[in-house]
Copies of this chain bind each other. A is one copy, B any other.
Amino acid sequence: MTDQSSAEIIQTFGIELRHLRSFIVVAEEGNIGRAATRLNISQPPLTRQIHQLEEELGVQLLIRTPHGVDLTAAGELFMEEARTICSLVRQASERTQRAGEGKLGRLDIAIFGSGILRDIPKLLLNFRKHYPDVHIALHTMRKSQQIEALRQRRINAGFNRLLPSLPDIATELITTEQLLLAINDSHPLAQADTIPLMAIADIPLILFPTGVLPNFREKTLKVCKDSGFTPKIAQEVGDAVTAIALVASGFGVAIVPESSSVLTLPHVVYKPLDNPPPGAEVDLTCIYRANDPSPVLKAFLEECRRYRDQILPA
């Protein structure tokens, strides 16, 4: 297949862009001498170039008149085609340069449940503002799927929390969030400004997500253990949104990342932990192939860093 396709392409031996550029100028000037001046070459080589072109095409392009040259019908057609081609080359060059700077291209990005609630949309919005010509496709994937998809090159980056360290996957920290307690407003504890973790020891706890370790479920259990108790597990669910929905229905409480609090559901209030133990926080990170040379990805990671530096002081 390759042989055939390139055989077709290589048909046009001999003809070079130089010929097209020269011909365009000659056609514009209607005079070979003046055209040569504009091309910064002398007249004879230009005459020869045009002859070569006519020879190569097997068609007369110019009619020599006493005061210059006129285009034949074929010449007129070829001039249009040549203009198109030259401007296409220019465009190709520019587009490739922009692609090289990461300003043009496509990013396939995997997101997961609770990450989408606040930081990722903001980040993507920022990026789109700086790189409007980069097309972003979002895919919802759980952590293990993200890693597999990265390795298979189906995606360029993914967002997740609590990542295992892997040799071929690099990470970029987006933000570190405090943990909040999502609690039903009918519960007496919901009146307090902050809640000591120990206070929920006897309240049923909704855990999430299910899936491979390490995950946020594990994190939640560890935080409780560090506070000196083992929680009563009310229910295990797949994602933060479902967990908070259960909180709204009075199933129990849930420990969620700070950013989840943008999700308002009736009867759900979010309370900071009183005296949070060390480790009562969770990272949101961007993962990508460690050796991915894509300039678009590079630009995206820079945007990630800019976002992080921007919100960390605040």
- A residues neighboring B (CB under 8 Å): 2-3, 5-6, 8-12, 15-18, 21, 24-25, 28-29, 38, 56-61, 63, 72-74, 77-78, 81-93, 95-97, 99-101, 104-105, 293-296
A290 to chain B, nearest CB (A): 14
Instruction: Offer 8 A-B interface pairs, CB within 8 angstroms, sorted by A.
Output: A2-B28, A12-B86, A15-B89, A17-B17, A58-B100, A59-B101, A73-B99, A73-B105
Interface SS of chain A: helix, strand, loop or mixed? Answer: helix
A116 to chain B, nearest CB (A): 26
Instruction: Give the number of times this chain occurs in the complex, counting copies.
Output: 2
Q: Is the CB of A59 within 8 A of B100?
A: yes
Q: Which residue of B lies closest to A56 (CB)?
A: B93
Q: Is the CB of A82 within 8 A of B74?
A: no
Chain B residues closer than 8 Å to A18, beta-carbon distance: 16
Q: Which residue of B lies closest to A78 (CB)?
A: B96
Q: How far is the CA of A29 from the CA of B99 in the complex (A)?
A: 22
Beyond the given pairs A16-B18, A73-B99, 18 more chain A to chain B contacts, judged by CB atoms under 8 angstroms and listed by A's residue number, are A3-B38, A5-B28, A6-B25, A9-B90, A12-B90, A16-B16, A56-B93, A59-B97, A59-B101, A72-B100, A72-B293, A73-B296, A74-B96, A74-B97, A74-B295, A77-B96, A77-B105, A81-B96
Q: Which of B59, B86, B97 has a CB less than 8 Å from the CB of A99?
A: B59
Q: Which of B16, B74, B90, B100 has a CB less than 8 Å from the CB of A60?
A: B100
Q: Which of B10, B11, B58, B90 has a CB less than 8 Å from the CB of A11?
A: B90
Chain B residues closer than 8 Å to A29, beta-carbon distance: 2
Q: Which residue of B lies closest to A39 (CB)?
A: B10
Chain B residues closer than 8 Å to A83, beta-carbon distance: 9
